[in-house]
Chains A and B, each alone.
Chain A
Amino acid sequence: MPTGEVFSERQLQDVARAIAGAETDTGLAFSVYVGSLGPNTRERALTLHDALGVEASRSVLVAVDPGLRQTEIVTGPDAKRFLDDHAAALGALAMTTQFNAGDLAGGLVNGLRTLGEHARHPQTLHLDQP
């Protein structure tokens, strides 16, 4: 495993673009962390989610530990109203399928797209109509 730069410049841009796309689709804030999560991955992912500060409530954190082969998706209380646990699990599945083939960046891009597509969009009341 190469130390240091794990993603190429292009992969960094691809993931950033996927995050921007998911944010536009859902109106939520997305954050993706790839790195070691320590022995207790869920606890660490929750801490990382808390570290997002005021944005945490409407944030979706995707935390991936490639060493432990573990993916954690954390949604804040507001984010959960649009992205329920079933949709999050679908996104996690889309990611791990490609992670298993050794494609970290591709898995993140596909998973973020899945999360964006499955986030439940609230029905808009047509205020311009009586």
Chain B
Amino acid sequence: MTAAVPMSTVLVSVLASPAFAAQRRYEGDDPGPGLTALETLGLFVGIPALVIAVVYVLVFAGSGAKGPRYRPGVAWRGQPQWWGGPADAERAVDSAQPTQSGGGARAHW
């Protein structure tokens, strides 16, 4: 008789659990109010999306500040840049007198 009481309690609670799932699953259970569809979306989609966006910005803000990037193999249309060149580069190149040859090196990449 003493064993029959817990057995019946278990049986009742197992059978009843689907109906009680949202309310009280066991004695003293105190589930809060459920999430609305909007809250669920915000929690499981919105916050991860925000984290992804923050990481994305942190990663690509740096490369953006470095300026345009040269990509090997892509045609070059940039303006010529000459450091330490003559003041009037075009005229100087046109009127350049051949000088005694020195040396140097060349490399292809």
Q: Which residues of A are in contact with B by a Cβ distance under 8 Å?
A: 1-12, 15-16, 19, 29-36, 41-42, 45-53, 56-57, 61, 65-67, 69-80, 84-85, 88-89, 91-93, 95-97, 99-104
| Residues from chain A with Cβ under 8 Å of B72 in the complex | 69, 99-102
Contact B103 A80 (CB under 8 A): yes
Query: B82, B86, B108, B109 — which one has the most chain A CB atoms within 10 A of its CB?
Result: B109
Q: Whose C-beta in chain B lies nearest to the C-beta of A9?
A: B67
Give the distance to chain A from B83, nearest Cβ to Cβ, in Å.
4
**In the complex, what distance in Å separates the CA atom of A49 from the CA atom of B89?**
11
| B28 beta carbon closer than 8 Å to chain A | no
- The chain A residue with its CB closest to the CB of B97 is A50
What is the predominant secondary structure among interface residues of chain B facing chain A? loop
A48 to B93, CA, bound (A): 6
Bound-state CA distance A71–B75 (Å) is: 16
In the bound complex, CA of A78 to CA of B99 (Å): 12
Size range of the chain B interface in the assembly: 35 or more
Interface residues in chain B, defined as those with a beta carbon under 8 Å from any beta carbon in chain A: 65-86, 89, 92-93, 96-109
Establish whether residues A46 and B101, one from each chain, have CB atoms under 8 Å apart when the complex forms. Answer: yes
Cα(A102)–Cα(B108), bound, Å: 14
Most buried by B among A1, A15, A46: A1
